Amino acid sequence: MPNFKKKSSVGESIPTGSMADIAFLLLIFFMVTTVFVRYRVTGIILPRAEKIEELKKRRLISYLWVSADRKIYIDDKVAQLDQVANVFYDRRIKEPRTVISLKCDYRAPYGLISRVIEELRKADTLRINFATDKEG
C-alpha cells in the first residue's frame, strides 16, 4: 500500500505585508473623522436675537463667557473680573485683529456684564462680538 501525502494548498503563515497599510489607513480615517471640542463651558444659555450675522473667520476669536452664577470664563478657564483687562490687552498686543466673542447667559446680571465690557475697554479691545442663540 503506497503512502500518499496530500500537500496542503494553504500556507502555514499569515501574510502581514499589507497590515501596515491597513493600520495607516485606519489611523488617517480616525484622525480625519474625530471632532475635538474646543471649549467645555456648560450651563450658559445665550439670549435670542432676531438678526444674526455669523463670524466667517474663526482663527482670530477669543471667547469670554459670563454665566448666570456670576462666573467669568476666558477660553474655558475661570477668571476673575480684574484679570480680564490684562489678559485681553496682552492678546490685543500679540494679534490686533483678534475679535472677542462675549457669550453671556441671559440670566447673568447686567451689572456684571457691564463691568466686563468696561474691563475690555480698559484693554482697548474694540472688536467685540455679542454672541446670541438663533431664534428658533
pLDDT level of residue 52 (50, 70, 90 thresholds):
low
Q: Are strands 128-130 and 99-104 parallel, antiparallel or unpaired?
A: parallel
Which helix (H) or strand (E) is 111 found in, with range?
helix 110-122
Which residue type is seen at 51?
Answer: K
Sign, CA dihedral 87-61-98-69, equals negative
Residue 134 in this model has a pLDDT that exceeds 90: no
pTM for this model (two decimals): 0.61
C-alpha cell at 112: 456684571
CATH class for the domain made up of 48-134: alpha beta
* 99 touches 129 (CB < 8 A): yes
DSSP-derived secondary structure letter, 10? S
pLDDT level of residue 17 (50, 70, 90 thresholds):
confident
Residue 116 in this model has a pLDDT that exceeds 90: yes
